[in-house]
A and B are shown apart, each in its own frame.
Chain A
Amino acid sequence: MEPFEAIVDEHGVVVMRVCRALLGPDDAQDAWSETFLAALRAYPDLRPDSNVRGWLVTIAHRKAVDQIRKMARAPRSSNELPELGTQDDRAEPDRELRAALDALPTKQRGAVIYRYLADLPYSEVGVLLDSSEVAARRSAADGIATLRKTYRKGTE
């Protein structure tokens, strides 16, 4: 079994991108830490033939869902919302893409993130979204089609 350090080295970036896409830059760090801590805990029992990236993204998905639920229960007051145009611009050059992603229906958004950011096969995307493989493929295609309309470059 590989040292866990090697797992973080190899997959840390992908998990971070998934967390940022799902949650935004601030909450992504918490989700990333929670994901790898949970993964570290379970790692010795991971079956040797497992798809490690899929396993990690599955944990990240659950952690993100937990975090979104937590935020929904305890909404931030308006003066705690991140101010636009300050720190966020530096932290996130992909603001427009995020806005377009955030506007997608939940399944389409998940399908696009897990297929194209995490590079998971549709069979695994389907498991994460409680969908069939066929439905996951359709959600991803619909998501991209919507992004084509909503995410434009050079908008003036």
Chain B
Amino acid sequence: MITDTRTDQEIVADLSGAFAGTDAEAVELLAHLAERADHDGLLDVAYRTVDSPVGSLLLAVSPAGLVRVAFEREIFDTVLADLATAISPRILRTGRRTDDVARQLDEYFAGRRRRFDVVVDLQLVHGFRRSVIAHLQEIPYGATESYAAVAIAAGSPAAVRAVGTACAHNPVPLVVPCHRVIRSDGTIGRYLGGAEAKAALLALESDAD
């Protein structure tokens, strides 16, 4: 009979490494938590990230609808921290509520979707910016409009720069198509996701029949 008594340090070391669960269990528990949180009305923001031709995207959905689409260059941790402040810190990563918009974006990038059938929550936009965003939703797939034309449509013809600012702060790019707003001289102008992404989106939309 071999009996090797442990030292205190070994017992403490064993304790601090003991009872670890598996990664699979952690994933399952997190999914279950999101489900119960949603059921109990505690999931104020559900989010997920998806890959796309214009880089990773973060999709965030509130109970009222799609509240944020963010490009990777905006830094997702910063975006989530801002959502925690502006909406609620009750934020969980989950496919619940976010799967539908993810699927529609996939179809859009594959050239199979021209309109998004998504309820948008514009709680992050106020005032003039909101009327700009509302107008942007009316610019059809494949079309473009100048910043000046959007300013007129939004009811403030002199507010061309403010339209640019509103587009730059569009909380739900792609779904609300601020990429369809370009300069009067025909150059594409700036874009939250980068000028290259904007050019790629306009090319995608002009290629499709």
Which A positions have Cβ atoms within 8 angstroms of B? 1-6, 8, 12-13, 16-18, 20-21, 28-29, 32-33, 36-37, 40-41, 43-44, 92, 94, 97-98, 112, 116-117, 119, 144-145, 147-149, 151-156
Does B83 interact with chain A (Cβ within 8 Å)? yes
A1 x B18 contact (CB < 8 A): no
B33 x A8 contact (CB < 8 A): yes
Tell me how many residue pairs across A and B have CB atoms closer than 8 Å. 120
Q: Among A2, A37, A94, A154, point to the contact of B84 (Cβ < 8 A).
A: A2
A43 x B89 contact (CB < 8 A): yes
B42 x A40 contact (CB < 8 A): yes
A29: chain B residues within 8 A (beta carbon): 25, 29
A112 to B16, CA, bound (A): 10
B89 x A1 contact (CB < 8 A): yes
A152 to B2, CA, bound (A): 10
B29: chain A residues within 8 A (beta carbon): 12, 16, 29, 32-33
Number of B residues near A (Cβ < 8 Å) is 41
Which B positions have Cβ atoms within 8 angstroms of A? 1-8, 10-12, 14-16, 18-21, 25-26, 29-30, 32-33, 36-37, 40, 42, 45, 47, 80-81, 83-85, 88-93
A153: chain B residues within 8 A (beta carbon): 4, 6, 10
Nearest Cβ on chain A to B179's Cβ, whole angstroms: 28
A3 x B80 contact (CB < 8 A): yes
Nearest Cβ on chain A to B46's Cβ, whole angstroms: 10
Q: Among B5, B16, B18, B89, point to the contact of A148 (Cβ < 8 A).
A: B5
B30 nearest CB neighbor, chain A only = A8
